[in-house]
Amino acid sequence: KQEVTQIPAALSVPEGENLVLNCSFTDSAIYNLQWFRQDPGKGLTSLLLIQSSQREQTSGRLNASLDKSSGRSTLYIAASQPGDSATYLCAVTILQGAQKLVFGQGTRLTINP
Amino acid sequence: DTEVTQTPKHLVMGMTNKKSLKCEQHMGHRAMYWYKQKAKKPPELMFVYSYEKLSINESVPSRFSPECPNSSLLNLHLHALQPEDSALYLCASSQPGRIYGYTFGSGTRLTVV
């Protein structure tokens, strides 16, 4: 059974710092990996999608890497801002009867001004 | 159009009521999903429709009844719910295949009284 783990569960840093969020998964048979952002009480916003054959993707201040063989992904946020405060969710797409998304527990990020 | 639209945004219902949640997308995606999310937890998969056919039911109680009238619409019919069913209900869509990610709606906040 695929399990996704995110470390740390919560992180609080001062504005301007670069930071790394970690995600690990137990089964390397994934279609892709997606990082989402969720603000309190809101839906999920897709940040980056990494195909299983890719090593990394970049969007603005965000960079996500994928090492499928070791079952790990990282989300790097450069020059953090208070507006980056949110919960960040990592999810892998697997095929189990039908295509489904398996989520980690999330990292609650707080950027302090 | 790159959005998934969910209505209503908020819903309060009694335990004897019947109500429906609606989800719509016009991205041509052929897979649609219902997720349930409790506070400070990741989304939990409820149902998957692929090409308008129910392909996954994650042992959801029968008081939740999904319907996919066409490739753009997904409904969740609710009847005789319990207070513990109060949660954020998220709809998502994707295109079947390895290279596609998921797009989520903003959710319906459901309160059962």
Name which of A46, A89, A91 is nearest B103 (Cβ-Cβ). Answer: A46
C-alpha closest to that of B35 among B44, B23, B24, B48? B44
For residue A97, the model assigns a pLDDT of 78
Q: What is the mean pLDDT of residues A89-98?
A: 90
For residue B2, the model assigns a pLDDT of 73
Contact A6, A105 (CB under 8 A): yes
Interface membership of B55 toward A (CB under 8 Å): yes
Mean pLDDT of chain A: 95
B20 token code pair: 């429906």
**Cβ partners under 8 Å of residue B48, min gap 6:** A98, A99, A100, B31, B32, B33, B54, B55, B56
Contact B89, B23 (CB under 8 A): no
pLDDT of chain B, 113 residues: tens digit per residue: 679 999 999 999 999 999 999 999 999 999 999 999 999 999 999 999 999 999 999 999 999 999 999 999 999 999 999 999 999 999 999 988 778 899 999 999 999 99
Residue A48 has pLDDT above 90, yes or no: yes
Confidence band, pLDDT 50/70/90 cuts, at residue A95: confident
Q: What is the mean pLDDT of residues A94-111?
A: 92
For residue B106, the model assigns a pLDDT of 96
- Measured from the Cβ of residue A102, the count of other Cβ atoms closer than 10 Å reads 20
Contact A75, A90 (CB under 8 A): yes
Name which of A32, A36, A101 is nearest B98 (Cβ-Cβ). Answer: A32
Residue A33 has pLDDT above 90, yes or no: yes
Identify all chain A residues contacting B107, using CB atoms and an 8 Å cutoff: 41-43
Distance from CA of A31 to the nearest CA of B (A): 5
Confidence band, pLDDT 50/70/90 cuts, at residue A99: confident
Closest chain A residue to B89 measured between Cα atoms? A43
What's the one-letter identity of residue B108?
A: T
For residue B100, the model assigns a pLDDT of 86
Q: Name which of A100, A107, A108, A109 to mutate to probe chain B: the one with the most chain B Cβ atoms within 10 A of its Cβ.
A: A100
For residue B60, the model assigns a pLDDT of 96
Strand A19-25 vs strand A4-7: parallel, antiparallel, or unpaired? antiparallel
The pair phi, psi for residue B100, each rounded to 5°, is: -105, 140
